[in-house]
Amino acid sequence: MAGNKGLSIVFPEGSYDRCRVLSETAVHDLGLDVICRGLSNKEKEQSLILGIMSRITDDPEVVQFRLDVFEDIYNNPEFRERMLGILDKIEFLRDFGSFRRDNEESSGTWDLVHRLEEIRDYIGYVEALQQCLGDGNLKSKGLRDLKERIDGIYNDSSFAQLKQDIAGLKASTSNLKSVTLGVNLNERFEAKEIGLISVNSKAFSKSTILENFGNMIVRKDSIKEDVSWDGSMRFQPFSMGEERAGGKMEGLARARMMIQNPVLMMALVPDGDMGKDVTSHMDRITDHMLGKTMRAVKEVLNKYTGLSIMDITALIPEFVYYVRWAEYIKRQVGKGRVFCKASVLKAGGLRMKAGGFYNMRLLDFADDIVDNDLDFDDGKSTYILTGANRGGKTTVTQAVGLLYVLAQGGIFVPAKEFAFRPVDCIFTHYPADEDKTLDYGRLGEECKRFRELFGRCTDNSLLLLNETFSTTSFEEGFFIAKDAVRAILKKGTRCIYNTHMHKLAADIDSLNRESEAEGAKTKAASLVALSDGGERSFKVKVAPPQGMSYAKDIAEKYGVTYEMLLKDAPKTAES
């Protein structure tokens, strides 16, 4: 996804750089980090999913693009499994193959031959992608565009030429079975020069050490007067790494003896550093013999260094993002939970219509989850949410934020219906931790942080306030909160203000009149977390604050009204 270069099914047409990024505070307040841990047990996947969800775009076309891609992936389980399997193989090729290395002129023969195999694998993966995208019942623009790009690679004349070139090179290099080396000796019978005699299409046959020794040393006619080879020599393999009574060092000593007197036997090269050294030396020797062939190999590799393997592997985290969400939602739907595809509103006074929505963070903690309905429009752009403690105010506030994050990320939302105009960012203002208030005090810290957030908000943002300005006396908090709401209405930011200050909600009408006189085009509304006889229902409704009536319900439930207290009070000592 780096900068949205190349293929993308999340950030089309350069949209990556136009996104705004959620703050770490907003990520924490919305619980996105916890949600991502529920999608995957792999930290790398958790990180990449969170990275995508944290980048917020308000472009309706981009949001619709994502919604359609996710719907395709969600509705085609076989397709998503096949795609992930192919992309995993391509990722392995990228991470552990030689595509990362440059095709230097110094590349050895055997390294280049190995790279031929990798390109053959790559050709197969492109063909598998092309078939998979063709077999899927895909409707989204994102996946249809991807299919077109893969078809373009597959049908490109250079790709066809690549297949032909690789096939031809494979035919020639597959015949390499053995090489014949010549060793020049000095007067002490030590090897001083090694040269390549031939490259052979057949492997040497084995014979015994005694036979080699007898044939090559004892017989006088076995000492040749020239360096030509008549094909009669056979060899006895010997492992340089084998351990006998004398240990590994004895094996190395015997190997050294072989090099000094190579007519005795041949050595099998062990794995490890020594094997790499011998192979490297073989590269230098065979490069001289295969100069013309290796130049052709390098030309092919250099020609296709710019192949789309890196573009294709950029899709892997994006597919993981969609697939992990699809798997998670499938599991929840199987348990009877409701999710839906969001609808994007592009214009008009309605900014959000959410029906039957709930906070998906409750899925791991509750079986009986209460859903709610809520709209944003010009007449209700800011909600003052009041109600009992632990009555669901924070849960509803958080749920609205999650609806936007999921929908704008293309993911189905926990609701029966959700139509919305995308926001450019989400800002949260929750109570500060004690260790963050040492310099300013709790109220001072809240005011400073709110001013910073408000300065970053636009008329297309979502602002979620949770008990803001509640760390001081009621009178001081009410004065600050009222001014803050007036400013929010003037700017037109969508907002839910969860507060215990019932008077703020009770003064909605006068607050709206003042704001309208100051040129505000939006209004605030009172939203209440309902209760029934003191019992929390976790339902919210646009209504005047319950305030005193809720306190009366609680008092009656626990017998602490004036009448109830006196009725059951014991008689005084005098009576």
Per residue in 248-300, pLDDT (tens digit) is 444 444 444 444 444 433 444 445 555 555 556 555 555 554 555 566 666 65
Picking from 426, 338, 324, 311, the residue whose alpha carbon sits closest to that of residue 50 is 324
User: Which of 38-47, 53-62, 299-308 is the least confident region?
Assistant: 299-308
**Beta partners for 376?**
352
Picking from 181, 200, 167, 358, the residue whose alpha carbon sits closest to that of residue 284 is 181
Q: Is residue 567 very low, low, confident or very high in pLDDT (cuts 50, 70, 90)?
A: confident
pLDDT above 50 for 246? no
pLDDT score recorded for residue 293: 58
User: Which of 11-15, 221-225, 447-451 is the least confident region?
Assistant: 221-225
pLDDT score recorded for residue 542: 94
pLDDT score recorded for residue 164: 74
Secondary structure, 3-state, 292-343: HHHHHHHHHHHHCCCCCHHHHHCCHHHHHHHHHHHHHHHHHHHCCCCCECCE
Q: Is residue 25 very low, low, confident or very high in pLDDT (cuts 50, 70, 90)?
A: very high
User: Which of 232-246, 278-292, 496-510 is the least confident region?
Assistant: 232-246
Listed by start position, the domains of the chain span 2-169+302-318, 178-292, 338-567
Segment 323-346 shows an average pLDDT of: 96
Give me the DSSP letters along 188-238. TS-EEEEEEEEEESSPPPB--HHHHHIIIII-GGGS-SSS---S---B---
What's the CATH code, domain 338-567?
3.40.50.300
pLDDT above 90 for 536? no
- More confident: 183 or 407: 407
Q: Is residue 36 very low, low, confident or very high in pLDDT (cuts 50, 70, 90)?
A: very high
pLDDT score recorded for residue 364: 81
Q: Is residue 178 very low, low, confident or very high in pLDDT (cuts 50, 70, 90)?
A: confident
pLDDT score recorded for residue 244: 43
Which tens digits make up the pLDDT trace of 341-359? Answer: 999 998 778 999 999 999 9
Which tens digits make up the pLDDT trace of 466-487? Answer: 988 877 677 788 888 999 999 9
pLDDT above 70 for 507? yes
| Distances 537 to 369, 458, 499, 533 between C-alpha atoms, Å | 11, 34, 18, 10
Residue recorded with tokens 């049908």: 155
User: Which of 329-338, 360-369, 408-417, 566-575 is the least confident region?
Assistant: 566-575
- More confident: 425 or 232: 425
pLDDT score recorded for residue 248: 44
pLDDT above 70 for 498? yes
pLDDT score recorded for residue 52: 96
Q: Is residue 143 very low, low, confident or very high in pLDDT (cuts 50, 70, 90)?
A: very high
pLDDT above 90 for 367? no
Segment 4-12 shows an average pLDDT of: 78
Segment 56-81 shows an average pLDDT of: 95
**Beta partners for 183?**
194
pLDDT score recorded for residue 272: 54
pLDDT above 70 for 227? no
Which tens digits make up the pLDDT trace of 434-477? Answer: 444 444 467 788 888 999 999 999 999 999 999 888 776 777 88
- Report yes or no: 118 and 98 within 8 Å, Cβ to Cβ: yes
Q: Coil, strand, or helix at residue 422?
A: coil
Provide the percentage of residues in the chain whose pLDDT is more than 70.
64
Please name the residues in contact with 574: beta carbons below 8 A apart, sequence gap of 6 or more: none
pLDDT above 80 for 208? no
Please name the residues in contact with 187: beta carbons below 8 A apart, sequence gap of 6 or more: none
pLDDT above 60 for 102? no
| Distances 75 to 263, 311, 365 between C-alpha atoms, Å | 69, 25, 28
- More confident: 562 or 531: 531
- More confident: 169 or 539: 539
Q: Coil, strand, or helix at residue 356?
A: strand
- More confident: 96 or 290: 96
Q: Is residue 156 very low, low, confident or very high in pLDDT (cuts 50, 70, 90)?
A: confident
